[in-house]
Structure 1
Amino acid sequence: MSETALPIMPSWDEDLELILAAAVAAGDTALGYFRRAVGVRWKNEGRSPVSEADLAANDVLKARLLAARPGYGWLSEETDDDETRLSRDTVFVVDPIDGTRAFIAGKEQWCVSVAVVQHGRPVAGVLFAPALGEVFQATCDSEARKNGAAIAVRDPEPGETLKIAMAGDLVDKLTFPYRESIARVSHVPSLAYRLAMIADGRIDGTIVKRNSHDWDLAAGDLILARAGGALRSLDGLPLSYNRPIVTHGILGAASGSALSALLAASRPLEGH
């Protein structure tokens, strides 16, 4: 009696190759709109802009990725949520342009964020910042790379002032003396790119306000982890993705003792 052969699942490296090509294609599409007059509408009661470029890049990603992996689920900032994703073991988690406000303003710190999430955790991730010519990538069993070269978080000396990216209105709410021991990094408009900046050692950490989304975080979370850092909730737990609710509470990202100190100092923020 013959047995039906089980389908061969793609490897994480194959998924990385797929999402990298798709992210570059989407980023090149978005770049064609950059610093030009683009149509913009507002969603979430006028709090979040979405441009023609966001939608065009989303179309590129969705067409390429789901054609190649029709069995994967789909979660994107610019696609109406389809809860069938919850029944899929593996899901694409996508932000066609993370940092839309920066994009509209003609600033360069925006990126295409694409992750493959399996059983709630990212297994392949790409961030492509076309205006900066930067590509970050990783799988869950590879090193993190920027433009092909391995990257790692910074290893600060004991007592050294740490560069922490965070909203200005949160600084005074951090515990003392921690808030006196850090230097606040000026606003980085893309949350995904902020995580990449920790991964390649330009900054030491970040505090993320509540209500960030899976698509802001998943790819950057993996890249940061493979560079030696971590993104955590205030109670120190890793994030779980592709849940019914795709928003998160206040988060901290850094590495080693810098992460534990950041999370401890951020406890007063829990109610904010």
Structure 2
Amino acid sequence: MPASDSDRLLLERAAREAGALAKSFGANDLDVRRKEADGSPVTAADLAVNDLLGSTLRTARPSYGWLSEESAEDPARHAAERVFIIDPIDGTRSFIEGADTWAHSLAVAENGQITAAAVYLPKRDLLYSAAAGQGVTLNGVPIRTTGTSVLEEAEVLAPRPVIDAPYWRVPLPPLRRAHRPSLAYRLGLVAEGRFDAMLTFRPTWEWDIAAGTLLLQEAGATVTDRLGRPLRFNARHPQHPGVVAANPALHGDIMNRLTLAP
């Protein structure tokens, strides 16, 4: 079995374990706090899931590096051949509200590329998983992006600021736009063809998009930052200037309309 496929199975099992743990937390157990760096919320569940995944994954693959939203920076990850990139709960605000669109996002990167990924939504029992060159599935069924080729015909997942004029060379056509709290889930929805494209132009952390990037690539999509550059992972500063994800034709149409100014 290729290492990427073996890693995928590991991530799938770990994601389901994380889901069971996260769902065990009640509203009174969350102990919601604000992070000093940016004021974003973190809960006792985020930290418990992070501890579980760290123990499970690093015990199984002790040579792999570790990059997680809820862990202190570990410089050793830069010397590791392979690295786990983890968001214990993607969509923490949704989790706090008791909604069902939060996810666990788990990935392995090798030489800057994602080789295995799992995105799991426990309350919907949706498990997206992929291994490089092995395709992508949703609950075991292969999925594929749509073939929509122009923005006027597309259904787009994007936050409202994306449609602001400064980002575009010419005025945008009216967009059929929707939004979901979890970036990983948004990327999965495009991979399965429920939406045609996903756009975000704000600085984006690797743990939010690592797993979803492979889902999309294996589903036939092109995924870049908002300047059209390929995404490479395990960077020293693990953040990218947004994400544009769609099938190759639609991605090209979007990029032709965007201004490349930072």
TM range (shorter): over 0.9
- Residue identity over aligned pairs, in percent, reads 35
How far the C-alpha of 1:210 sits from its partner, in A, is 2.5
Name the counterpart of 2:211: 219
Name the counterpart of 1:183: 176
Distance in 2, matches of 1:34 and 1:249, equals 35
Q: Which runs of 5+ in 2 are unaligned?
A: none
CA 1:43/1:175 → structure 2, altered by over 3 Å: closer, same or farther?
same
CA deviation string 1:17-59 (max 9, x = no partner): 1111111101110111255551111114453111111111111
CA 1:252/1:242 → structure 2, altered by over 3 Å: closer, same or farther?
same
Distance in 2, matches of 1:244 and 1:90, equals 15
Matches within 5 A, 1:66-215: 66-156=58-148, 161-173=153-165, 174-175=167-168, 179-180=172-173, 182-185=175-178, 187-215=179-207
Q: Please say if residues 72 and 92 of structure 1, whose CA atoms lie closer than 8 Å, have aligned partners that are also in contact.
A: yes
Which is worse superposed, 164-173 or 135-144? 164-173
CA 1:157/1:260 → structure 2, altered by over 3 Å: closer, same or farther?
closer
CA deviation string 1:97-116 (max 9, x = no partner): 00101111111111101001
Name the counterpart of 1:230: 222
CA 1:160/1:18 → structure 2, altered by over 3 Å: closer, same or farther?
same
CA deviation string 1:196-229 (max 9, x = no partner): 0000011111211322111101110001110111
CA deviation string 1:112-161 (max 9, x = no partner): 01001001110000001001110000000111100000000012276862
Which is worse superposed, 217-226 or 151-160? 151-160
Name the SS of the counterpart of 1:223 in structure 2: helix
1:18 corresponds to which of 7, 10, 13 = 10
Distance in 2, matches of 1:32 and 1:88, equals 34
Name the SS of the counterpart of 2:187 in structure 1: helix
Which is worse superposed, 195-204 or 155-164? 155-164
CA 1:178/1:229 → structure 2, altered by over 3 Å: closer, same or farther?
farther
Q: Please say if residues 162 and 181 of structure 1, whose CA atoms lie closer than 8 Å, have aligned partners that are also in contact.
A: no
CA 1:145/1:36 → structure 2, altered by over 3 Å: closer, same or farther?
farther
CA 1:157/1:75 → structure 2, altered by over 3 Å: closer, same or farther?
closer
Distance in 1, matches of 2:157 and 2:253, equals 15
Distance in 2, matches of 1:198 and 1:34, equals 31
**Structural RMSD (CA):** 1.9
CA 1:33/1:266 → structure 2, altered by over 3 Å: closer, same or farther?
farther
Name the SS of the counterpart of 1:95 in structure 2: strand
CA deviation string 1:163-207 (max 9, x = no partner): 11222123132536662153111x210001100000001111121
1:64 corresponds to which of 52, 56, 63 = 56
For 1:205, the aligned partner's letter is: A
Distance in 1, matches of 2:97 and 2:205, equals 22
Name the SS of the counterpart of 2:144 in structure 1: coil
Name the SS of the counterpart of 1:209 in structure 2: strand
Which is worse superposed, 149-158 or 118-127? 149-158
Distance in 2, matches of 1:237 and 1:22, equals 31
Name the SS of the counterpart of 2:172 in structure 1: helix
Q: Please say if residues 38 and 51 of structure 1, whose CA atoms lie closer than 8 Å, have aligned partners that are also in contact.
A: yes
Relative to the length of structure 1, the TM-score reads 0.90
Matches within 5 A, 1:38-57: 38-57=30-49
